[in-house]
Amino acid sequence: MKTSFQDLISSETPTVIDFFATWCGPCRMVTPILEDLKADMGEQVRVYKIDVDQNPGLAAQYNVRSVPTLMIFKNGKLQWRQAGVQSKATLKNVIASIQ
């Protein structure tokens, strides 16, 4: 079953979306940060990676101009967005503030 982007972001659980590209060095730095975040927070957060080269329409819809761009959604609404590598502590603080 293919899940739509709207389905991914409509959860009551804060959902981190990582817009990335396979050729992007800083994007590779984000992956272990997000894995640590998910390991620490478990069911309190959902994490998805979106390859901008595979999903150019979605990247354009959300005005992704540089990668990595991280966004956090809750109940289908964008709560936070930031381009560039973010620390796990920053992401945890943002998630805590929107729960």
- Is 27 assigned a catalytic role? yes
Q: What does each C-alpha distance from 7 to 18, 72, 85 come to in angstroms?
A: 16, 14, 25
Q: Give CA torsion, residues 34, 38, 43, 48, to 10 deg.
A: 30
**33: phi then psi, degrees, rounded to nearest 5:** -65, -45
Q: Residue 6 belongs to what H/E stretch?
A: helix 5-9
Task: Please pick, among 9, 21, 27, 71, the residue that the annotation labels catalytic.
Answer: 27
Among 5, 10, 11, 24, the one annotated catalytic: 24
Residues with active-site annotation: 24, 27
